[in-house]
Amino acid sequence: MNKNELTKSDAPIGIFDSGVGGLTVFREIIKFLPYEDIIYFGDVGRTPYGGRSKEIIISFTTQDVAFLIDQNVKFIISACNTASSVALEEIQQSYSIETIGVIEPGAKAAIEKTKKGRIGVIGTHATINSNAYAKIIHNFEPKIKVFSLACPLFVPLVEEGYIDREATYLIAQDYLQTMLDVKVDTLVLGCTHYPLLKDVITDVMGKKVTLIDSGEETARIVYQKMTENNLLNPKASQRPGVQGEYKFYVSDVPEKFSKVASRFLGQEVQKITRVDISKY
Ligand code: DGL
């Protein structure tokens, strides 16, 4: 049986992340697919994943996916760069449901944009250590030079709302000097939180360096895949202009998620339910 025959097009899309950051991907998905119903799971009780071991990341990601499957979603998006880098292959082998990560879309967009064949990738420790972006880029274009760098302080800065602060600029300058030194012309924002720092990163890198938002690229690919595989919700055409229904699930305090989530999404987040993820 074809993978997609297991799912129904009128079911919701499932998106998961290690926490709140995946809402930057959610934000892009709803631009392309505004009429789809979406279930979002944020593992806020166990976030961050970025400094954890491969085994733990795989085990957490497996539970996140099992939870979404239990909600009868038709398609799963791993919004988390760390989970996508480290655990996507295992997930795709263990479950028949169509699951897409953010790495390949971001890597392909970087290949398309680079003119000098010099691509920088920034992300969490786990994403950078996995070398996932570089592997995909080199599969397609072995001659491209890839420079990878972990920028772990960006995650707490964004979650604390330190977006336009001098401190954030100084940290960005310190981290990104190596990217300036090696003269990348394209920089992949390989972490859910980094799109919120686009202005600061542009200030440091200069306008000539193209920033790749993996979430945005993923949304484009998801739209294409869903169209090709007849997975678009048929109800969407019957209710034009009516936004899909969104439900949010978290593994710890919904109130904290709600506060940070509105910053990520640029709109109030409602219907947040706490789940015991250890059951999955
Ligand atoms: N969502 C993670 C990512 O995109 C960042 C936060 C974490 O480390 O869990 O890599």
Residue-by-residue DSSP string for the chain:
--GGGGS-TTSPEEEEESSSTTHHHHHHHHHH-TTS-EEEEE-TTT---TTS-HHHHHHHHHHHHHHHHHTT-SEEEE--HHHHHHHHHHHHHH--S-EEESHHHHHHHHHHH-SSSEEEEEE-HHHHHHTHHHHHHHHH-TTSEEEEEE-TTHHHHHHTT-SS-HHHHHHHHHHHHHHHHTT-SEEEEESTTGGGGHHHHHHHH-TTSEEEEHHHHHHHHHHHHHHHTT-S-THHHHSTTPPPPEEEEESS-HHHHHHHHHHHHSS----EEE--GGG-
Pairing relation of β-strands 272-274 and 75-78? unpaired
Separation between Cα atoms, residue 128 and residue 147, nearest integer Å: 10
237 has pLDDT over 80: no
- Which of the listed residues 15, 16, 17, 196 should we mutate to test ligand 1's pocket, taking the one with most ligand atoms within 8 A of CB? 17
- Ligand 1 pocket: which residues have CB below 6 Å? 17-19, 21, 47-50, 80-82, 123-124, 127, 155, 191-193
Residues 91 and 117 in one domain: no
Which pLDDT score is estimated for 5?
45
Average pLDDT of the residues in 12-35: 96
Query: What's the mean per-residue pLDDT of the chain?
Result: 94
Residues 122 and 207 in one domain: yes
Strand partners, 99: 76
- Which domain range does residue 166 map to? 103-214
- Looking at 190, 214, 238, which one is the last position of a domain? 214
Residues 156 and 180 in one domain: yes
Residues 235 and 97 in one domain: yes
* Active-site residue, selected from the candidate residues 76, 79, 80, 222: 80
Residues 7 and 78 in one domain: yes
pLDDT in tens, 53-77: 999 999 999 999 999 999 999 999 9
> Which atom belonging to ligand 1 lies closest to the Cα atom of 82?
10
pLDDT in tens, 98-143: 999 999 999 999 999 999 999 999 999 999 999 999 999 999 999 9
Under a CB-based contact definition with an 8 Å cutoff, are residues 26 and 249 in contact? no
> Which atom belonging to ligand 1 lies closest to the Cα atom of 49?
9
pLDDT in tens, 135-170: 999 999 999 999 999 999 999 999 999 999 999 999
> Which atom belonging to ligand 1 lies closest to the Cα atom of 124?
10
Torsion of CA 142, 147, 150, 156, to 10 degrees: -100
Which pLDDT score is estimated for 167?
97
Residues 23 and 111 in one domain: no
Residues 181 and 248 in one domain: no
Centre of ligand 1 from the C-alpha of residue 112, in Å: 25
Our measurement of the distance from residue 187's CA atom to the centroid of its chain's CA atoms, rounded to an integer in Å, reads 16
**CA-nearest residue, atom 2 of ligand 1:** 80
Spell 244-274 as b/e; 16+ CB within 10 A means b. bebebbbbbebeebbebbeebbeeebeebee
Residues 203 and 108 in one domain: yes
Q: Is 191 a catalytic residue?
A: yes
Share above pLDDT 90 across residues of the chain, in percent, rounded to a whole number: 84
Centre of ligand 1 from the C-alpha of residue 28, in Å: 17
CA torsion through residues 61, 77, 280, 253, sign: positive
- Looking at 214, 243, 265, which one is the last position of a domain? 214
Separation between Cα atoms, residue 194 and residue 168, nearest integer Å: 12
Under a CB-based contact definition with an 8 Å cutoff, are residues 221 and 105 in contact? yes
- Looking at 214, 231, 256, which one is the last position of a domain? 214
Centre of ligand 1 from the C-alpha of residue 41, in Å: 14
Separation between Cα atoms, residue 71 and residue 14, nearest integer Å: 8
Residues 121 and 255 in one domain: no
Please report which confidence band the pLDDT of residue 7 belongs to, taking 50, 70 and 90 as the band edges: low
**CA-nearest residue, atom 7 of ligand 1:** 48
Which pLDDT score is estimated for 255?
84
The model's pTM: 0.95
> Which atom belonging to ligand 1 lies closest to the Cα atom of 51?
8
Look up the CATH number of the domain holding residue 187.
Answer: 3.40.50.1860
Residues 182 and 229 in one domain: no
* Active-site residue, selected from the candidate residues 86, 136, 144, 191: 191
Here the tokens at position 77 are: 């998006």
**CA-nearest residue, atom 1 of ligand 1:** 80
> Which atom belonging to ligand 1 lies closest to the Cα atom of 123?
10
Q: Is 151 a catalytic residue?
A: no
- Which of the listed residues 155, 194, 196, 197 should we mutate to test ligand 1's pocket, taking the one with most ligand atoms within 8 A of CB? 155
Residues 96 and 220 in one domain: yes
- Structural domains counted in the chain: 2
Which pLDDT score is estimated for 1?
36
